[in-house]
Structure 1
């Protein structure tokens, strides 16, 4: 023991002796036990339900890593579960039932209006998902419109939601893409079960899938879309990382991805295609009528029957034809409506000379539309958007335009995809209308803004109600003259033509899936009643075959928003402010049409200084 430690020991011994003697003479007063720490206050009902919504969202992202990637959450970018498997479907159903029970157990009485609305929306979504599990959509995992092989190729190309900025990003895709063969093998197994059960795709759709797959299958890895991230390696990567990633991507593409794509293509071409069906409607499948009724109800968020929707479509087609005849009269065109359609479809003045000219035209619309929109909107998104052509491997079957939302973190802008395939069919008179629908004030305004409504739970910010979303897109088209476009009668006719197209969808989608129409009947009806080219009519008809009921959302949603605007204008008179109406429609994100109706009713009452129910 060192001298210093010895002195300390002796001092401690002496103090102990003194304290012991003192204690022998003085009673010891016991020290009271420490007070227990105060329990944290119980969460308020609002805090509790907010945590519930957050837990639901987080568990959902773990279950669906691809969804996480698309919303800009990078935590699961290396994962790709076999979501086509029976095990996954059971897990998903268990998830929906568990959360349905938890959400239903919440007492809405002490909650605010926004939380009650969130409960209502989430319960509806969960009920729909649980009911939908009875239908065998999993037996038809691939079609020409929503194609898993195409989706994965987009992700792997670096032009979509999967990020390729850091070395970790590149390694994430190596891990995720390594699971693609498992998914493709499951897709083949599911299609085999579909063949046995009589649940197969129409042949005409799968005929279009084969060239899509062939476009992705090339001889050398370096020539594939999957190699583009290596061609665009960030300059700051080290030489070691660049060499390793280039080597690993060549191995991944050559030994894993291309064989998987070839195997899928060969199965579809050699085995599945001969067993596909000649029929084209959903009603031709087992339990198909109930399946279509379910899709109609969930897509439109209404209780309208296919027959009622068919009648609405016929009435709208007749009304819009009347508006078109007024434009024809204004232009002093000598001929009837069908002859005018032919004129619009064939006259060279309405064609773009090149893809570059088409893209420049769309980019040139931005300034005018942004300035005009400022007169109608005060609630605007912060995120920007880009205009890109649809990729060549999928443009033959893609729609004329589409929109991809920006990422949550702002690292990826929104994208307005313009289809430049078969360029003569992409008309100048169609451009203003398409821009308003897909970009501003249509999908970019609504979807980008919805993501920025941070006070809403994430399942609403990143979720969607098709009738609202597409209804808003079509309603945005109707604002053209108020914004300052459609000044040329041909451009205004283009708007009417696209409104007509959405009305025609009500007729032909229900015709296909509920009334036994053939593909030829659908195409003939579209060509006889609109100015669309045969290329567009074929693409659209086959789209309706691939995704039954989805096309109904546009017109029914637009009709509801227009109805609510007219109701508000009549009720408020000079008090009506279009900017405040648009704010009210947009400020809660996409909601079912019945909820939107109730919401606008409350807003009208508030503008009039009334209490609800007055």
Structure 2
């Protein structure tokens, strides 16, 4: 009986909140809008609102729905890029922003208060971002729904291929992809006319991502993979029908779409790509980059401030690297030590299998030590896996993909085995900490498992929180009993140096007029990274303005909050309890996280 009562209350609130959005001419004073709202607490009103917000948001991004286990969207792709769809999204944000004003924030506490604060901030930021023309740069070599679609179609991602209906759902999704890709071409063509285009190196890297799917035999296509792996439970007739449908899909729809995009890039886009690399060189580019800083870091810092922080950090870490050089007895300058680490075969594995096996061994070692600093851990496991060949050339050296919410898919710690010289042995411990446990896997999997989180937060996130936490997790290595080998400690410094250099390069490219070559030279001079890795990193910062700032700035903020809590609580400070407080409410913007931690500290005194 209690469940039924709650359901009726919730449905009443949904109706009430919807009614409040009517125009004055549509309002009927006989409707029970105000009375229903007044009978419910502010928390109840907010619970319904955030549930509605998340459900409606999925219509704008059905791909996220599939990742998050909402399979009623598996037959849909992204809406085409158009002014009409941008207007719909703007109206969507404004609608929920207005609905929030109907809720009394002063009546909220705990998780409900966080929900209100997060959604209010998010909506304001999203509306601010609608003024910038990112739709003219809908894809790049690092990211874009074209790569997500390929992953789905391979049968190795979130798109299910368990039933005949699943296979048919993907065919419908593919029709949506073809339409979306045509709108990408149209938007990029507009970008050429308006001077909002990708830098030349990035545009060139896009071309092979489309050409690889132009095949003459359907069996050679990545999208034929699910046909090769059809379940044995399918009848012969079903298998035959699906095989014919997929051959037609590949040869008659997907290959022509990929060919058209390849031709467009080659003939009508790459020749007009720009020589400059920074956002400051685009129309309204300075303001656009300032917005990217705010969006990615959630902090109020200028490009100049961040650049100076980066320079100081690079200098500090170089000094620590010199200490390691001396500890291992290397004779020569630091630059020679860098070359030694880049070129000596002793620091690299000979095969991809050896590399993956080494990370699997480190996983066991680290997992056994986590109880020293944590009293919580995710239920979901994670596996170590090589990056798929179709995206390896442009992919990062390592990455993490979260588990399926229903437990059907583990978290995945991806290692890029494309260039073994970009995967030194001394990165094993720090990279595993960052991407897996207690880094991304801990934070992302735990976030999905917190029952009290509404879906918009359970499946949302902030780069500065996620990457800041992962880099902070690296700093826990010695407390976990790791980094005892000086080369492994160098690996930690090398990884930290990468994040410090990002502060310099990101702001250098997008606010200070740095060239691509300037960035490459700077990274080679201040680290032992392989040149191929340096080039991929440089082009990543060019493609994702502001994203690379999140790591160090997020780590700084979490360390600052740890120091604050320790100072305030003294002997009462419990590192396990602090880590639980950072993780237990999912990702938060840094100002909201700071307020939350300070409330927690006060409650402990």
Tell me which interval the TM-score lies in, with the shorter structure as reference length. over 0.9
Alignment partners' CA distance in 2, 1:84 and 1:161 = 24
Alignment partners' CA distance in 2, 1:104 and 1:459 = 19
1:242 equivalent in structure 2: 239
Match of 1:299 among 291, 296, 299: 296
The alpha-carbon distance between structure 1 residues 81 and 530, as it changes in their structure 2 partners (threshold 3 A), is closer
The question of whether the paired residues in 2 share the 8 Å contact of 1:79 and 1:176 is answered with yes
1:363 equivalent in structure 2: 360
Structure 1 stretch displaced more, 360-369 or 548-557: 360-369
1:215 equivalent in structure 2: 212
Match of 1:388 among 373, 385, 388: 385
Work out whether 1:577 is the aligned partner of 2:574: yes
Work out whether 1:88 is the aligned partner of 2:79: no
2:422 equivalent in structure 1: 425
Alignment partners' CA distance in 2, 1:500 and 1:443 = 19
Alignment partners' CA distance in 1, 2:78 and 2:578 = 43
2:22 equivalent in structure 1: none
The question of whether the paired residues in 1 share the 8 Å contact of 2:117 and 2:592 is answered with no
Unaligned runs of at least 5 residues, structure 2: 1-34
The question of whether the paired residues in 2 share the 8 Å contact of 1:139 and 1:190 is answered with yes
Q: CA deviation at 1:347?
A: 1.0
Match of 1:342 among 339, 346, 368: 339
The question of whether the paired residues in 2 share the 8 Å contact of 1:351 and 1:426 is answered with yes
The alpha-carbon distance between structure 1 residues 81 and 544, as it changes in their structure 2 partners (threshold 3 A), is closer
1:376 equivalent in structure 2: 373
SS of residue matched to 1:368: helix
1:465 equivalent in structure 2: 462
1:169 equivalent in structure 2: 166
Q: CA deviation at 1:81?
A: 4.0
Q: How does 1:179-578 map to 2 (within 5 A)?
A: 179-578=176-575
1:10 equivalent in structure 2: none
SS of residue matched to 2:138: coil
Q: CA deviation at 1:44?
A: 2.7
Q: CA deviation at 1:578?
A: 1.1
The question of whether the paired residues in 1 share the 8 Å contact of 2:443 and 2:586 is answered with yes
The question of whether the paired residues in 1 share the 8 Å contact of 2:78 and 2:177 is answered with no
1:191-210 CA distance string (max 9 Å, x none): 11111111111011011111
The question of whether the paired residues in 1 share the 8 Å contact of 2:42 and 2:103 is answered with no
SS of residue matched to 2:400: strand
Q: CA deviation at 1:481?
A: 1.7
Q: CA deviation at 1:211?
A: 1.7
Q: CA deviation at 1:87?
A: 1.9
Alignment partners' CA distance in 2, 1:358 and 1:287 = 45
Alignment partners' CA distance in 2, 1:532 and 1:374 = 32
The question of whether the paired residues in 2 share the 8 Å contact of 1:83 and 1:89 is answered with no
SS of residue matched to 2:54: helix
1:55 equivalent in structure 2: 52
SS of residue matched to 1:437: helix
Unaligned runs of at least 5 residues, structure 1: 1-38, 610-614
SS of residue matched to 1:480: coil
Alignment partners' CA distance in 2, 1:119 and 1:83 = 31
Match of 1:143 among 133, 140, 143: 140
Q: So what's the TM-score if we normalise by structure 1?
A: 0.91
The alpha-carbon distance between structure 1 residues 530 and 128, as it changes in their structure 2 partners (threshold 3 A), is same
